[in-house]
Amino acid sequence: MPLNVIVIDDDTATLDLMRFQLEANGFQVSTAETGRQGLELFKENHYDVVLTDLNLPDINGIEMVKLCKEASPDTEIIMITGFGSMEKAIEATKAGAFFFVEKPVEFEEVLVLIEKAVERKQQVEEIKSLRGRLIDRTSYFDIIGGSKAMQNIYETIDSVAESDANIFILGESGTGKELIANAIHYKSLRSKKPFVKVNCSALPKELIESELFGHTKGAFTGAAADKVGLIGRASGGSLLLDEIGEMPFELQPKLLRVLQERIYFRLGSEKPQEADFRLISATNRDPLISISEGMLREDLYYRINTIEIRIPPLRERAEDVPSLANHFLKMYAEKYNRPVRGFSQEAHEKMFEHNWPGNVRELQNIIERAVLLSKGETIDESALPFVQRTSDKIARTAVATNTANEDRGDEATAISNVNDGEKHQSDVVSSSAQNVNFSEMSMDEIGKLIVNQLPEPTADAQQDDVFKNLEASVVLAALERTKGNKQAAANLLGLYRPRLYGMIKRHKLDERF
């Protein structure tokens, strides 16, 4: 299709000359002697490029650019200016014009500008098309999910996969860290070379160095033959170090040296080996907590964390649950040759309400079980034996805390205060809680009880952050109940330990336990 160009100028001689030259170069050309005539043509036709004079008899050139962009945002505009109009021409480019050219106009210069304007227009359209495809994608290299959070991850992978940058993947257990790593490798320039995966927590501490770097025959007792090692096996490809926070601390400087110098030594050998691999690391722990606990070296963390990809837990992207559930249903129905075709409305609602502490892995296991036990074409609510919801655990915590408080009398409150700024809200809650049977209340009712007891805000007083105070109070109460045992407190609250550590640090509760 020929490119469609409109020329707007009050000089008819210029219009005729431009029409002749542009048509001779294969363009389809329209002309207008005023800005209003040009805008009328805009309503009837789509133009790829506009050539317009800065000084039109009826419309200011800057305003003309704005009106053209409003009528057709994708159309590129080239401004033709007279001598001494440079400031206005620059202003026009800020308003949206592609470029400007001064009179007298050399057609060859105009032709080059038109070609570049068309090229940019095509690039913009390609980017929009790509983004459209990204938004529409519900799967990507065996990863299922169409939520915005997952689209952002797909876009990151697209951007960095072909580089050799170190990738650090963070996510709770069961979120699909290995699938993300697979996508990065198989989309990279190393995809035809090996992809070696190592679970640092699964290897015996005394063997991990030998497994990673390899060894020579006789390097230690039991080394009956030479061994290449995982780094050697990954040569030319990628190496995934899963659960890198579990790597022995004394081995981490050696890995850091490999990443810095790109050479390594097998145990028992002084011959350097080339380290030609792309590193992908993964962990389900907060790396900053691992560093503070002395499990992960800070310098290694910054070396492996060139590009960080955080996978949100399934509870934070509930919109992905239906597509994941349908994917697993289809997969296991085919695998076990079952007639299952879908879920009941009640089953869908139950899946949406569930907190998914085990993330995608938990969902997969539940669907597999439901398919195996199903006797019809539809999986109903009774076939989904979820683990107890986190909210139920919190409710039980409130019951236990309330009971303990009653046993202790007035020495403790139902929700402990953390600092003086929280005391008022905590006292309000505890005074009401003393006469309430929490075991008969839902979490919604407990929430209403708390909110209804809050004082009305006043214009001259700073209102405390209720959620911050309640979070701190609940965490403190759990730590008091478990006598400072953080793992037990995390289990009690239905949290993963790294998340609890983050709360403790945020509210400065580590000073107490």
Report the mean per-residue pLDDT for the chain: 81
Give the separation between CA 105 and CA 350, rounded to whole angstroms: 70
Looking at residue 426, its pLDDT comes to 42
Question: How is residue 346 written in tokens?
Answer: 């009640």
Is it the case that residue 320 has pLDDT exceeding 60? yes
Angle of the 423-433 helix axis to the 466-481 helix axis, nearest 10:
70
CATH 3.40.50.2300 for domain 316-383: no
Looking at residue 189, its pLDDT comes to 93
Tally of CB atoms within 10 A around 132: 10
48 vs 393, residue with greater confidence = 48
Residue with the two structure tokens 């310098």: 299
pLDDT tens digits for range 209-264: 888 999 888 888 778 888 888 999 999 999 999 999 889 888 999 999 999 999 99
Looking at residue 138, its pLDDT comes to 67
Contact 282, 242 (CB under 8 A): yes
Share of the chain above pLDDT 90, in %: 32
Give yes or no on whether 4-130 and 140-310 have one common fold.
yes
Contact 228, 234 (CB under 8 A): no
Domain boundaries, the chain: 4-130, 140-310, 316-383, 390-506
Give the separation between CA 471 and CA 500, rounded to whole angstroms: 10
Tally of CA atoms within 13 A in the half-sphere of 406 that contains its CB: 12
pLDDT band at 80 (very low <50, low <70, confident <90, very high): confident
Helix, strand, coil percentages (3-state) for the chain, rounded to 5, are 50, 15, 35
Looking at residue 409, its pLDDT comes to 42
Question: How is residue 472 written in tokens?
Answer: 């701190």
Give the separation between CA 10 and CA 39, rounded to whole angstroms: 14
Give the separation between CA 240 and CA 243, rounded to whole angstroms: 9
- Mean predicted confidence (pLDDT) in 66-73: 85
Looking at residue 94, its pLDDT comes to 79
Looking at residue 127, its pLDDT comes to 57
Q: Is the dihedral of CA 40, 41, 45, 51 positive or negative?
A: negative
Residue with the two structure tokens 């025959």: 217
pLDDT band at 129 (very low <50, low <70, confident <90, very high): low
Closest CA to 446 of 404, 491, 395: 395
Is residue 104 reached through a cis peptide bond, with omega within 30 degrees of 0 on the bond before it?
Answer: yes
Looking at residue 422, its pLDDT comes to 41
- Mean predicted confidence (pLDDT) in 389-400: 43
Looking at residue 46, its pLDDT comes to 87
pLDDT tens digits for range 88-124: 777 777 778 888 888 777 888 888 888 888 887 777 7
Rg (CA), the chain: 33
Which residues, in sequence order, are CB contacts of 100 under 8 Å at separation 6+? 54, 78, 79, 80, 81, 89, 90, 92, 93
Share of the chain above pLDDT 70, in %: 82
Contact 377, 338 (CB under 8 A): no
**Mind giving me the DSSP string for 125-164?**
HHHHHHHHHHHH-SEETTEE--SHHHHHHHHHHHHHTTS-
Looking at residue 498, its pLDDT comes to 60
pLDDT band at 503 (very low <50, low <70, confident <90, very high): confident
pLDDT tens digits for range 259-296: 999 999 998 888 999 999 999 999 999 998 888 888 99
What CATH architecture is 4-130?
Answer: 3-Layer(aba) Sandwich (3.40)
Identify the helix (H) or strand (E) that includes residue 378: strand 378-379
Question: How is residue 358 written in tokens?
Answer: 């085990």
pLDDT tens digits for range 169-184: 999 999 999 999 999 9
pLDDT tens digits for range 7-61: 998 888 888 888 999 999 889 999 999 989 988 898 888 888 999 888 888 888 7
**Mind giving me the DSSP string for 441-499?**
--HHHHHHHHHHTSPPP-TTSPPP-HHHHHHHHHHHHHHHHTTT-HHHHHHHHT--HHH
Tally of CA atoms within 13 A in the half-sphere of 468 that contains its CB: 11
Contact 229, 213 (CB under 8 A): yes
Question: In CATH, which of 3.90.580.10, 3.90.650.10, 3.60.10.10, 3.40.50.300 is domain 140-310?
Answer: 3.40.50.300
